[in-house]
Amino acid sequence: MRFHKEGWPSLALVLAYWICCALLAHGFFSNSALAIGLAHTSGAFFTLVIVQFFRHPKRIHNLHANAIIAPADGTIVVIENTHEPEYFKDMRLQISIFMSPLNVHVNRYPISGTVEYVKYHAGKYLIASHPKSSTENERTTIVVSDAAGRSVLFRQIAGALARRIVYYCKTGDTAQQAQQMGFIKFGSRVDVFLPITAKVKVVQGQKVKGSQTILAEW
């Protein structure tokens, strides 16, 4: 199990908190085992939370040229045909994955190809399950097209707790299916927009793993 690079600032912050609490407890409450215990317990607790949140497990990636894989860990909360207004501007099959704070938050490319579009949008921090979070929350939209001309749009969406969306791609980059392309801090969701003709391989409420679960096939 590795620790993701995006977590180092947060880990430094909680370790500083732990040290400060410990110094205060030992300096001002040196005769109170309770105060000292609370200082160390709270510091250890927040450190463990950060370590588990930013964990980056090693995974074996089986590439699927005829499939779209899950770009994130989480739970399928939406499977529906809907109008995609930003890039395709037509009806698309939407599959949405909700990421709780307990999920691995690494985001990956669902297909291989060329990055055709990257757009960051500032926005609100509605609960990620809110219907309007896909269009009103802080988000990043990315489109990848494969060698056959088939395109997938996926959108990183901030939630009520998520305050930073990280993406590592730009227009023109070569995308490799299952390769890491970003990270969302502290819970949110990822929307994937596919052609209406795509064959769905998941069901609503299903737990999925990024780079492991097949969402749909062409």
By annotation, the residues acting in catalysis are: 188
Q: What is the C-alpha to C-alpha distance for residues 155 and 158, in angstroms, rounded to an integer?
A: 10
Q: CA 21, CA 38: separation in Å to the nearest integer?
A: 9
Name residue 141's beta-bridge partners. 119, 155
Question: Nearest CA to 178 among 95, 20, 64, 97?
Answer: 64
* CA end-to-end span of the chain: 33
Q: How many CA atoms lie within 13 A of 93 on its CB side?
A: 17
- Token pair belonging to 138: 């802080």
Q: Is residue 144 within 8 Å of 110, Cβ to Cβ?
A: yes
